[in-house]
């Protein structure tokens, strides 16, 4: 699609490397402090399998794994924010 294809590995590798190491360090940190048992961390771990997938659409599937899959509106909004992973996986 782009006219003159640049090397996308050159452009993105270091950034991806940094993010991957950050995730590994995050998990180590939670273990050290005994805080790894959390529904959000569980959801993150479940989504990790997509990183090893050979199939296109990994980003969408990671987002789906971190999404609320219920379909009915909730009775009332008692908070305004969101947590990044659905509470019911707790």
Partner 1 sequence: MVSRTMDDYMALACAGCKAVNEPAFWAGFDRASAQGFYDYFRQITEYEPRRAAKFCIEHYCWLCINPKEAEDPGLAREVISLIPEFLKKPNVLGIGEIGLNKNSRNELMILEEHIQLAEDHGQLILVHTPHLEDKRKGTKLIIDALLNHPKLDPGRVIIDHVEEHTAPLVLDKGFWAGMTLYPESKVTPNRAIDMLEMYGCERVWMNSACDWGVSDPLSVPKAALEMRRRGYDDAFIDQIVYSNPAQFMGQSERFALK
Which residues contribute to the site for partner 1 (CB under 8 A)?
1-6, 8, 11-12, 57, 59-61, 63-64, 66-71, 73-77, 79-80, 82-86
How distant, in Å, are the alpha carbons of 5, 73, 82 from that of 77?
47, 10, 11
Measured from the CB atom, the residue of 34 and 81 that comes closer to partner 1 is 81
DSSP 85: S
Smallest separation (angstroms) from partner 1 to the CB of 36: 20
For partner 1, the closer of residues 31 and 38 by Cβ is 38
CB of 77 vs partner 1, minimal distance in Å: 4
The least distance separating partner 1 from the CB of residue 70, rounded to whole angstroms, comes to: 6
Task: Report DSSP state, residue 3.
Answer: S
Alpha-carbon distance of 32 to 78, in angstroms, equals: 33
């Amino acid at each position: 699609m782009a006219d003159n294809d640049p090397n996308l590995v050159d452009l993105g590798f270091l950034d991806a490397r940094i993010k991957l190491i950050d995730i590994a360090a995050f998990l180590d940190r939670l273990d050290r402090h005994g805080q790894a048992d959390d529904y959000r961390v569980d959801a993150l771990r479940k989504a990790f399998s997509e990183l090893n997938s050979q199939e296109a659409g990994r980003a969408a599937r990671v987002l789906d794994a971190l999404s609320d899959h219920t379909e009915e509106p909730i009775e009332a909004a008692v908070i305004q924010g969101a947590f990044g992973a659905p509470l019911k996986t707790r």
